[in-house]
Amino acid sequence: MSINLPKPIGTYFAADSGDSEAVAMCFTENAVVKDEGRSYSGLAAIKQWKADSSKKYTYTSKPFACEDREGKIMVASRVTGNFPGSPVDLRYFFGLEGDKIASLEIII
């Protein structure tokens, strides 16, 4: 099943299986990511977050739902990989600014 994602979010999910540089380029200069109880602010921190998580885990992410929730775009995705509890359905809450991601919070 294919879903229609806003362009910056589709670009993020396509880059997520690639390198940390490609992921970081999806974000605004001052973007904030919240994942696993931590916050990462700015492109350098986001790039490091992606590099670190790529060292810890190998995974695939398949979005299956997308909806607007009070100004944020919520994407539900099935994530399967070499981490405890796999597979898991995660919710990604994106805040967009133009063609970039300004904020991302990942929640189980």
Mean pLDDT, residues 54-60 taken together: 86
pLDDT above 70 covers what percent of the chain? Answer: 98
Task: With a cut of 70, say whether residue 56 has pLDDT above it.
Answer: yes
- Residue 63 belongs to a domain: yes
- Residue 2 belongs to a domain: no
Query: Any long-range contacts for 83-89 (C-beta under 8 Å, 24+ apart)?
Result: 83/56, 83/57, 83/59, 86/59
Task: With a cut of 90, say whether residue 17 has pLDDT above it.
Answer: no
DSSP 18: S
pLDDT value at residue 1:
52
Helix/strand/coil for 96: strand
Alpha-carbon span 90 to 75, nearest angstrom: 8
Instruction: Name residues whose C-beta falls within 8 Å of residue 79's C-beta, 6 or more positions apart in sequence.
Output: 59, 60, 61, 62, 86, 87, 88, 89, 90
Range of the domain at 61: 7-107
Task: With a cut of 80, say whether residue 25 has pLDDT above it.
Answer: yes
What average pLDDT does the chain have? Answer: 93
* pTM greater than the 0.85 cutoff: yes
- Residue 26 belongs to a domain: yes
Supply 43's token pair. Answer: 């492109």
* Number of compact structural domains in the chain: 1
Query: CATH code at 94?
Result: 3.10.450.50
Task: With a cut of 90, say whether residue 13 has pLDDT above it.
Answer: yes
- Residue 1 belongs to a domain: no
